[in-house]
Chains A and B, each alone.
Chain A
Amino acid sequence: MNALPLSRRQMLFAGALAGGGLWFGAGPAGAAQDGVAGSPGAGLTAFIRIMPDNRITIVSQNPEIGQGIKTSIPMLIVEELDADWSQVTIEQALADQKIYGRQVAGGSMATTLLYDSMRRTGAAARAMLVQAAATRLGVPVGELTTGSAMVRHAASNRSLSYGALAADAATLPLPDLKAVTLKDPKAFRIVGKPMPGVDNMKVVTGAPLFGIDASVPGMKIAMFVKCPCYGGTVASANLDAVKAIKGVRNAFIVAGNGDDYELAAGVAIIADTTWAAMKAREALQVEWAPGAGADQSSEGFAKAAAALAGTRGPQEIFTEGDAAAAMPGAAKRLKASYHYPFLVHAPLEPMNCTARVDGDKVELWAPTQNPEPGRASIAKLLGVAPEAVVIHMMRCGGGFGRRLTTEYMTEAAWIAREAKVPVKLIWTREDDVTRGNLRPAGWHHLEAGLDADGKVTAWTNHFVSFGKEGKFGRAAAIETTQFPARFVPNFRCDATVLDLAAPTNFLRAPANNGFGFVMQSFIDELAYLAGQDPVAFRRTLLGTPRLVGPADKRDSYDAARALGVLDKAAAMAGWGRKLPKREGLGIAFHFSHLGYFAAAMEVAVADAGDVKVKKVWAAGDVGRQIVNPSGAINQVQGSVIDAIGSAMGQAATLSGGAIEQRNYDGFPIMRMPDTPPIEVAFVLSDHPPTGLGEPAYPATPPALANAIFAATGVRLRSLPIDTELLKA
């Protein structure tokens, strides 16, 4: 077995598999060097396994939530390994950050982090196979070519399969990863080609794939009933009556640890079937002790936020120039307050997790975007070693950020241990909505000043958000660099943090999903105030194509790339064309998660106020290479639909510390008849490839609101849109 440092903590390894195979993988530096014959050894996992019969397995390290990562990342390995896509099988990795490093479906980061390293991994394995062939055939490496998992020597018309070379390659020293030869992207045969998802046939035939489909011997169904008000605890419950119901095996109170991100208080019900558990819930009567947020409501927060208009927030976010001094001298000034509501994620597969506890070992089958916080909570609360928690990352029936928190994993493990039986914990849809993690609502009290030419000279924003004791909660902060910071000479953003008892969480393009609407709608207002075309006004605001901020950093802003997508979306939409009465075109752009996106939208507004989206054009710049165009377009179209659906009708409202909505009737998801055609274009720019799960979202809601303004003259400053305001 051979090993080579990959980073300070990780090393590449290669070695022999029983029966003459090669494995090639990664693991922690200092891991057992003497892997058991026939396996990659303790603590190591192979990214690539090649068997003598040329069967090739690629391990996919990140959680699959519908973003297509189980297809796109292996494509990078297989491209450089130089096998055919049809020759490989893809396998899902276990959760083990010591081996893989970050295994998170979040922040649109997988492509960014893995594009180069996975190509190099594939190329290194290829180099070893080529070296093995050179030795076997007695020819120089330079005379050999590869393709379809074969090494060929054209001069002597000889070829060897990777499988035939695997045993020899396993004994060779590892190549220098930094020096390994990568393909010229022009020669790509897999990357950049539309590849259907690797599990598509399983999906369309109903094969058990998802977390909720997991089954272990002796398993019972568990439900966990929590206080409607976040943070509430159980005073008493009629457990005996519940236990008497047919099919119910057990019912008990879980005190919890007071942390809604880990283990809230509630009543666990163990039953033979989900239906029996549901019937038990109907019979369950609990006296709750409400939590700290029992007096919190969306209405109350709205009043508190409204009272802050025209004031400065106690927290300074970003200041440049002197907005207070510049504002009075502006030729034109505009004040506006914007709002977006709390949201829940509502993925179609509700939270669930299957858990088996055996002594001090815990095994989980979890649909998760982020297994490690679950492991940490379980280790802490059950008093087991983190290494004793085995986590099978099941395909997720949607994520959208919801499964970044892991309380359902902790609940399943705790309940399985208490009940002394393996359980599949299933949340009902009502649990999923009422115990959602909230996308923080927000208010922005804005003012801007224009000079005589219509240029923005001053901008202030008092941002009202949520958290505890003055600190922003999860997903509730605003970046110092949020556009148009650094593009307006006199700029100030400050903030007030309202206390919120309910847990908040990242939702697709977190925070930016609200900021995009606010900034690009207000910029639209300023364009009309200046009497300028909305695209031309935005071009002037972006200014000369240049990089603002440090190069290659998350907080830099590339005006050239923003201009590129803005111009592309405008061109696609035929910007400037005349439309009939009560129809309009709107446009917006936004940068987040390292991706630049612009959306243009055409709407028709009925006299009764109903809005029909007729067409959407989305243009994105996520670097020089789209790894899987099929998945990429699907992600962009899905993001656009998600964003329109949310802007049209979604709000989670708090009353008495509890969410008032319960199911999809109260929290509507966009449906087929409302879905417009969505044209997608990628603007390729010479930058490293970055992720696509999120950045197409934020430009969409403002494109909608701006199109509605163009159609009706009504400026909507609050989401979801109120069609009552749009009546002719």
Chain B
Amino acid sequence: MNINGKPVTLEADGDMPLLWALRDVIGLTGTKYGCGAGLCGACTVHLDGAPVRACQTPVADVGTAKITTIEGLSATDLGRKLQAAWAALDVPQCGYCQGGQLMAAAALLRDTPKPSDDDIDAAMAGNLCRCGTYTRIRAAIKQVAGVRA
């Protein structure tokens, strides 16, 4: 597998969700478990840049796709900008969902650099924040995109 730009050898059953391979076998715990059913988005990672739910992705299905986790987000300029905005606007409360939120936001801005509110809603609707930091998540996305708050 290729995780965050590095080759990684994984020994696991093919049906193991990528989430648990990352957390329990590879030791990358930034990708979070929230629901195990694709309902909360806390486990969002990128496969070749596209956001997927790691809890719903068996490792056998990953193939040669390049995996990016929250630990690898700062490899891109966009990722670093998002992380800086998230920290400066003080988005997190507990912070548990924010890795998944950032991965979803990065995928949105890669494809839609100047998103409308509807674009943001559509891209982020699958990511729960139990603390309710949505107002600041939206503000941080807009700040990075350079669109009007």
Contacts and interface: CB of A to CB of B under 8 A. Distances in A.
A275 B17 contact: yes
Interface string A608-627: 00000000000000000000
A396 B138 CA distance: 23
B interface bracket (residues with beta carbon within 8 Å of A): 35 or more
B55 to A, nearest CB: 10
Interface string B1-30: 000000000001101110011011101111
Contacts of A68: 93
B74 A205 contact: yes
Contact of B133 (A199, A201, A349, A634): A634
Contacts of B146: none
B121 A204 contact: no
A638 B93 contact: yes
Contacts of B95: 66, 197, 199-200, 203, 209-210, 395, 397
The dominant DSSP class at the A interface is: loop
Interface string B25-56: 10111111111110110100000000000000
Contacts of B136: 634, 637
A274 B131 contact: no
23 contacts: A196-B88, A197-B90, A200-B87, A200-B95, A204-B82, A204-B98, A208-B29, A273-B20, A274-B33, A275-B13, A347-B94, A347-B130, A348-B34, A348-B96, A348-B97, A349-B94, A399-B94, A664-B34, A664-B35, A670-B134, A672-B129, A673-B125, A675-B135
Contacts of B33: 212, 274, 350, 426
Closest A-B pairs by Cβ, 5 of them: A206-B30, A66-B94, A397-B96, A641-B132, A206-B70
B92 A348 contact: no
Interface of B: 12-13, 15-17, 20-21, 23-25, 27-37, 39-40, 42, 69-71, 73-74, 82-83, 86-99, 102, 120-122, 124-125, 127-138
A212 B96 CA distance: 10
A431 B85 CA distance: 35
Contacts of B97: 348, 397
Interface string A564-587: 000000000000000000000000
A221 interface: yes
Contact of B83 (A205, A209, A212, A349): A205
Nearest to A195: B90
A677 B135 contact: yes
A215 B25 CA distance: 12
A428 interface: yes
B24 A630 contact: no
Contact of B128 (A66, A212, A664): A664
Given A66-B95, A205-B71, A670 B90 contact: no
A207 B30 contact: yes
Contacts of B12: 273, 275
A174 B124 CA distance: 54
Contacts of A672: 120-121, 124-125, 127, 129, 134, 137-138
B130 A200 contact: no
A34 interface: no
A453 to B, nearest CB: 41
Interface in A261-282: 272-275, 278
Contacts of A213: 29
A631 interface: yes
Contacts of A396: 94
Contact of A210 (B27, B93, B96): B96
A160 B29 CA distance: 43
A669 interface: yes
Contacts of B120: 672
A397 B43 CA distance: 14
Contacts of B73: 205-206
A638 B133 contact: yes
Nearest to B31: A206
A55 interface: no
A507 B136 CA distance: 24
A637 B32 contact: no
Contacts of B93: 66-68, 398, 634-635, 638
B20 A397 contact: no
